[in-house]
Amino acid sequence: MKWQELKTRVRLGLQRFMYGRNGVDELTLLVLSVSMVAVFFSAIFRQPWLQLLYYVGVFGSLYRTLSKSLVKRRKENFAFLQRVRKVRSWFRIQQKIVSERKTHRHFKCPACKQRLRVPVGKGKITITCSKCGEKFSRKS
Ligand SMILES: [Zn+2]
């Protein structure tokens, strides 16, 4: 019972402490990941600047997490997400292609580069692009 009570008190205390603070967002996770990579390589190559990068990353992400300037932090995170939007969407598409590889095949329209999805195992089919109407044939 004592342990449960302690856990509850710690959780509530932490919630109270984090109220009105930024918390962990995507930019913070990236900064933290970069600093983890830096500490890994600094252990191998013994470069002081890698260790510095690690400390800057750890304190930077701590600062972002505990910051109460919510508007500024959200703006920074939003700008970051805007910049990496294409990369993130590419990874999401690749993930979708892998997860659907047994049921669907993905093609790009030769005319407009629109991604098209067709069911697998239909033999050679003519695909009509849903965006520009281009017709092309592929093996499904
Ligand atoms: Zn097209």
- Segment 60-96, tens digit of pLDDT: 999 999 999 999 999 999 999 999 999 999 999 999 9
What percent of the chain shows pLDDT beyond 90? 96
pTM, 2 dp: 0.68
Contact between 105 and 122 under an 8 Å Cβ cutoff? The reply is: no
Rounded distance from Cα 107 to ligand 1 centre (Å): 10
Domain boundaries, the chain: 2-83, 102-139
**What's the gap in Å between 138 CA and the centre of ligand 1?**
14
Which DSSP letter does residue 121 get?
S
Among left, alpha and beta (phi > 0; psi -120 to 50; other), residue 121 is: left
Long-range contacts of 69-77 (CB under 8 A, 24+ apart): 69/22, 70/20, 70/21, 70/22, 73/22, 73/25, 74/22, 74/25, 76/27, 77/25, 77/26, 77/27, 77/28
Convert the pLDDT of each residue in 4-28 to its tens digit.
Answer: 999 999 999 999 999 999 999 999 9
Residues with CB in 5 Å of ion ligand 1? 109, 111-112, 114, 129, 131-132, 134
Q: How far is CA 68 from CA 20, 45, 140, in A?
A: 6, 37, 53
Kindly state the tokens that stand for 62. 């701590």
Task: Convert the pLDDT of each residue in 84-93 to its tens digit.
Answer: 999 999 999 9
Residue 48 CA: distances (Å) to CA of 33, 61, 70, 124: 18, 20, 33, 59
Q: Which tokens hold the place of 110?
A: 């030769």
The Cα 3–Cα 5 span in angstroms is: 5
CA–centroid distance, residue 127 to ligand 1 (Å)? 10
Report the separation in Å between the CA atom of 115 and the middle of ligand 1, taken as the mean of its atom positions: 8
Whole-number Å distance, alpha carbon 87 to ligand 1 midpoint, is: 22
114 CA from centroid of ligand 1 (Å) = 5
